[in-house]
Amino acid sequence: MEKLIITAAICGAEVTKEQNPAVPYTVAEIQREAKSAYDAGASIIHLHVREDDGTPTQDKARFKACIDAIKEVCPDAIVQPSTGGAVGMTDLERLQPTELPGIEMATLDCGTVNFGGDEVFVNTENTIKNFGKIMIERGIKPEVEVFDKGMVDYAIRYAKQGFIKEPMHFDFVLGVQMSATARDLAFMVDSIPTGSTWTVAGVGRHEFPMAAIAIAMGGHVRVGFEDNVYMSKGVLAKSNGELVSRVVRIANELGREIATPKEARQILGLEEQ
């Protein structure tokens, strides 16, 4: 079975220190959390950035400062900027980090998402195509973010039209718009093209059950404060590294080796970009 790629989504755009005091906002805190995840076994750091007061931003200079700080302590980590940003941001705002040199991967959301209440994360057909086209031009591999089966279908359609380069790498975000069960994950995996790779991100209490199922199925795993701030019910995680360490323990129990950043690049085809 392929080695396991662990992605750490270290801060997100919405989770706050009120929910967990260890959630990073500043450049130094983001560096600290990235290193804790990397040291525990994460190959990919999925990155949102914040102002020092916690306000989400897609500012290119802020991304550069955070990426430079991460690379100081995790020199070979794959830093994967989010182009999702936060609810209400424009397309041009969201694309800013892809302008930086040396970006290997970035997220590409393939549909509009209801996050709850009145919060709607809008991704029109033209947005998706434009983001995909720009990533091809800039030599960036998209991580195709999908929250339900329809988004997988969109991704396949746009790949056939030349807006997303194949083979694709999918991230199934379950527990938001689509439920998070073994049945759901198996259905999503069966829906993607042969030759694709995939990761699952279970949100909230679904994080570790989804991780265990993905490890057994041969897929890859995302954990981190963006998706879940608890180690167990009522017990806050002290760091992103603690969340990653739990995934490593599960993988060890199931006989699955952990991929290094170099091995992750080989599995994802990043060396061919």
The enclosing domain of 185 has a CATH number of 3.20.20.70
The per-residue pLDDT for 94 is 93
CB 40 within 8 A of CB 79: no
CA distance 123 to 40: 34
CB 7 within 8 A of CB 80: yes
CA distance 90 to 104: 23
Q: Indicate the residue type of 90.
A: T
The per-residue pLDDT for 273 is 52
CA distance 179 to 181: 6
* Residue 1 is assigned to a structural domain of this protein: no
Q: Indicate the residue type of 109.
A: D
Tally of domains within the chain: 1
The per-residue pLDDT for 271 is 73
The per-residue pLDDT for 272 is 58
* Residue 24 is assigned to a structural domain of this protein: yes
Using alpha carbons, list the distances in angstroms from residue 112 to 86, 136, 150, 160, 248: 13, 22, 10, 20, 32
* Residue 46 is assigned to a structural domain of this protein: yes
The per-residue pLDDT for 117 is 83
245 lies in which domain range? 6-272
The per-residue pLDDT for 116 is 77
* Residue 214 is assigned to a structural domain of this protein: yes
Cβ atoms within 10 Å, residue 117:
6
What are the residue ranges in the chain where pLDDT is below 70? 272-273
**pTM of the complete model beyond 0.95:** yes
